[in-house]
Amino acid sequence: MPFRISFRLVTLLLAPAILFASSPQGLRDSAQSAGVLVGAAVRPSLFSEAAYSETLAREFNMVEPEDAMKWWKVRLSQGTYDFGDGDEIVRFAQAHGMKIRGHCLVWDHHNPEWLAQGHFNPAQLSHLLQEHIATVMKHYAGQVFAWDVVNEALDEHGHLRDSLWYNQPGIGLSDKGTAYIGQAFRWAHEADPQALLFYNEAEGEGLNRKSDAIYAMVKDFKARGVPIDGVGLQMHVAQLDLDTAAIAANIARLTALGVQVHITEFDVSLPVDSSGQPRHDDLLRQAEVYRGVVHACLQSPGCAAIQTWGFTDKWSWIGSHSHGTRGAALPFDRAYKPKPAYDAMFEEMSAKANRPH
């Protein structure tokens, strides 16, 4: 009898701890319970900062390089590839059980000078691009599970941007609309048939001319057998009255085409004072934007990943880009303390498991 009483007492004492241990403990756990990936864009130069690497490994199960796999980092000269920074990200991710998104293979920005000013003709550019896609993707085959193959090819009206790859002078397909994008996807699939291939775009998250153009392009590609697996919606948000219902509708129509959607570069910038501090009320409104976007994603089974562009305000691109007028865009503050935005993401993903399907 004394043993039975003691056993019951121990069980009662341990029950709250057992319950607590089975509940999500952070973004990574809550994302797993919601059936999505939660990621962050990263810089390998910051892995040596303990708070950065510890927070990243604890809270996220996916990473993407901010710059380490772009042309200007990988291929500073025509005949030389440097995978050092990208490989460092891969090692970090593998050591912490994280998936890796690749970013990006085709973009009209931040190309090395030898390429941008090389005066190559279309045939030469076509060869260079195919060679680059094949070399980079084969290097990371079996490690990078998804690639942003083409990045930001459309303008705000949904028209193709003038670019090195499209028509200045292009790869020989400038008279065929989105054909150069489709060709890049075909080359990417040949290079790594197992990788998921994404078109990544800014300002096409809701319902507008750009998102209509993305939808039409993906529908056309699917009908013609172009190997596209997903659309990345960047989600750089600068307003606190975001129409998340329109975002949910856009995600739903894209996934209905049979492709995945990833939120790829999520941040919500706020006005800040001279010391870089936002208003408290804005932090609360920001949290509701985060909540709404996460909810919009989780409504569609095909929305498989939610990724922020960085994760701490300490290293966000927003401050320098806005010349110090905006900032505080990410779920963690400069001291790596979770903000209301973090709480909103955590709560929304944790609640997903309890919602009726």
Specify whether 178 is located in the same domain as 227. Answer: yes
Specify whether 249 is located in the same domain as 305. Answer: yes
What is the Cα–Cα distance from 216 to 57, expressed in whole angstroms? Answer: 38
* pLDDT higher than threshold 70 for residue 36: yes
List pLDDT tens digits, range 266-325.
999 999 999 999 999 999 999 999 999 999 999 999 999 999 999 999 999 999 999 999
What is the Cα–Cα distance from 214 to 253, expressed in whole angstroms? Answer: 11
Encoding tokens for residue 59? 């809270």
List pLDDT tens digits, range 143-171.
999 999 999 999 999 999 999 999 999 99
Encoding tokens for residue 21? 């241990």
Which pLDDT score, from 0 to 100, does residue 1 have?
40
Residue span of the structural domain in which 282 resides? 26-59+234-357
Q: Which residues, listed in sequence order, are joined to residue 261 by a DSSP beta bridge?
A: 231, 303
For the chain, how are helix, strand and coil distributed in percent, rounded to 5? 45, 15, 40
Specify whether 196 is located in the same domain as 341. Answer: no
Specify whether 355 is located in the same domain as 319. Answer: yes
What CATH number is given to the structural domain containing 257?
A: 3.20.20.80
* pLDDT higher than threshold 50 for residue 352: yes
- Residue 23: pLDDT band with limits 50, 70, 90: low
* pLDDT higher than threshold 80 for residue 18: no
Contacts of 155 (CB under 8 A, 6+ apart): 161, 210
For the annotated catalytic residues, the residue numbers are: 152, 265
* pLDDT higher than threshold 50 for residue 20: no
Q: Where does a domain end: 232, 260, 284? A: 232
List pLDDT tens digits, range 56-84.
999 999 999 999 999 999 999 999 999 99
Q: Where does a domain end: 206, 232, 258? A: 232
* pLDDT higher than threshold 60 for residue 12: no
- Residue 357: pLDDT band with limits 50, 70, 90: low
In a domain, 6, yes or no: no
In a domain, 257, yes or no: yes
In a domain, 48, yes or no: yes
In a domain, 75, yes or no: yes
Specify whether 36 is located in the same domain as 127. Answer: no
Q: What is the CA radius of gyration of the chain?
A: 22
Question: Using N-to-C axis directions, what is the helix angle for 122-139 and 179-191, rounded to 10°?
Answer: 40
What is the Cα–Cα distance from 151 to 105, expressed in whole angstroms? Answer: 8
Q: Indicate the pTM of the whole model.
A: 0.92
| Share above pLDDT 70 across residues of the chain, in percent, rounded to a whole number | 92
**If you ran DSSP here, which 8-state letter would residue 327 be given?**
E
Specify whether 259 is located in the same domain as 169. Answer: no
Specify whether 114 is located in the same domain as 184. Answer: yes
List pLDDT tens digits, range 237-258.
999 999 999 999 999 999 999 9
Which pLDDT score, from 0 to 100, does residue 356 have?
61
- Structural domain tally of the chain? 2
| CA geometry: angle 177, 180, 181, nearest 5 deg | 95
Which among 267, 305, 264, 242 has a CA at the least distance from the CA of 27? 305
In a domain, 5, yes or no: no
Contacts of 331 (CB under 8 A, 6+ apart): 27, 290, 308, 311, 338, 339, 341, 342, 345
For residues 230 and 214, the answer to whether their CB atoms sit within 8 Å is: no
In a domain, 273, yes or no: yes
- Burial of 252 per CB tally in 10 Å (0-12, 13-18, 19+): middle
Contacts of 10 (CB under 8 A, 6+ apart): none
Specify whether 203 is located in the same domain as 274. Answer: no
Specify whether 287 is located in the same domain as 160. Answer: no
Residue 77 DSSP SS3: strand
Specify whether 100 is located in the same domain as 145. Answer: yes
Specify whether 65 is located in the same domain as 40. Answer: no
- Residue 16: pLDDT band with limits 50, 70, 90: very low
| Share above pLDDT 90 across residues of the chain, in percent, rounded to a whole number | 91
Specify whether 74 is located in the same domain as 216. Answer: yes
